[in-house]
Amino acid sequence: MRLQDSPLITHLYTADPSAHVFEGKVYIYPSHDRETDKPDNDLGDQYDMVDYHVFSMDEISGQVTDHGVALAIADVPWASKQLWAPDAASKDGCYYLYFPARDRAGVFRIGVAVSDRPFGPFKAEPEPIKESYSIDPCSFVDTDGRAYLCFGGLWGGQLQNWRGPAFDAAGREPAGDEPALSPRIAELAPDMKSFAGPVREIQIIDEEGHPIRADDHDRRFFEAAWMHKRDGIYYFSYSTGNTHFIVYATSDNPFGPFTYAGRLLEPVIGWTTHHSIVEFKGRWYLFHHDSSLSGGCNHLRCMKLKEITYDQDGRMQVVMPTPAACAT
């Protein structure tokens, strides 16, 4: 199969697609970009999203169904603004939508909403997950049934404000040969709505076993955590942010450490890059976004799809799609 490089949908601006297979279909949980007059800055004020739509596909390259608004910020009691990149999980017939938003004090927390259907609507819990912070939640359910939540994002995502046990408004990203900031992970409790253990750091190391340095912007974690598992190997992929790559690291344990393994996706049109990886009917796919639909506007993005292959050593490679004119 050779996919075309065209947006999956064109009637809405969408970004940060998290894809999962539920009930025999691919369900996609993206953020929903909208026109705004907010300033374009490194804190991400221009990404002023207020709701989530859920999409599904019966077949790859088939029709994409928009199931409508699954959750709106008006229905999240603790949130003030900015419903950024979400993710979803399933357990015992229930579906859980994990999402970041700013609380009433302007601090990003991670909330959870529940539905009995993969497309919602979802009902938000009255409070964010205790001890959660920053952005870009990624839910990962292991083959043994244990579930985890990875999260974190620099700059506007505020991870640099959590270098200690509490939020520090003066917190800064490390520099030079200091170790880069690490993404976070916590095991989810059986109720899927709270943490079963402490929030831990996911250490990302180089081939010699040293932590990735803060000044190694081609490899250091910035945002967009994603975890998947294949043939006993845990893959942790993420965006490098200001250098605009999707890269990945591997481990034999979901808590890490993860050894840097390579670059997966080159820079796309627009500033941000955010992805997910899913297996469907024996093949692997990369969902991501760019800004081609809006002609390069950074905060008006569109979802795209590419296939992934693995070599005999488990290294990933993106199958380059067939060029296609961008839909309007």
Looking at residue 53, which CATH number applies to its domain? 2.115.10.20
- Is residue 269 assigned to a domain? yes
Res 321: pLDDT: 78
Q: 319: how many CB neighbours lie within 10 A of its CB?
A: 15
* Polymer length in residues for the chain: 328
- Is residue 204 assigned to a domain? yes
Res 324: pLDDT: 57
From 288, 328, 325, 324, select the one nearest 305 (Cα to Cα): 288
- Is residue 107 assigned to a domain? yes
- Is residue 73 assigned to a domain? yes
| pLDDT, tens only, 11-52 | 999 999 999 999 999 999 999 999 999 989 999 999 999 999
| pLDDT, tens only, 234-260 | 999 999 999 999 999 999 999 999 999
- Is residue 248 assigned to a domain? yes
| pLDDT, tens only, 142-182 | 999 999 999 999 999 999 999 988 999 999 999 999 999 99
Catalytic residues: 16, 223
In this prediction, residue 327 has a pLDDT band, given cuts at 50, 70 and 90, of very low
* Contact predicate 121/70, CB 8 Å: yes
- Is residue 134 assigned to a domain? yes
From 63, 67, 38, 42, select the one nearest 55 (Cα to Cα): 67
CA pair distance 181, 141, nearest whole angstrom = 24
- What pTM was computed for the model? 0.96
CA pair distance 13, 16, nearest whole angstrom = 11
Instruction: Quote the number of domains for the chain.
Output: 1
- Is residue 328 assigned to a domain? no
What value does the mean pLDDT take over residues 285-314?
97
| Residue recorded with tokens 């808590």 | 255
- Is residue 302 assigned to a domain? yes
Q: Is the pLDDT of residue 320 over 90?
A: no
Whether the bond between 257 and the residue before it is cis, its omega within 30 degrees of 0, is yes
* Average pLDDT score over the chain: 96
Res 61: pLDDT: 87
| Cα end-to-end distance, the chain, whole Å | 25
Residue 38: give the domain boundaries. Answer: 4-323
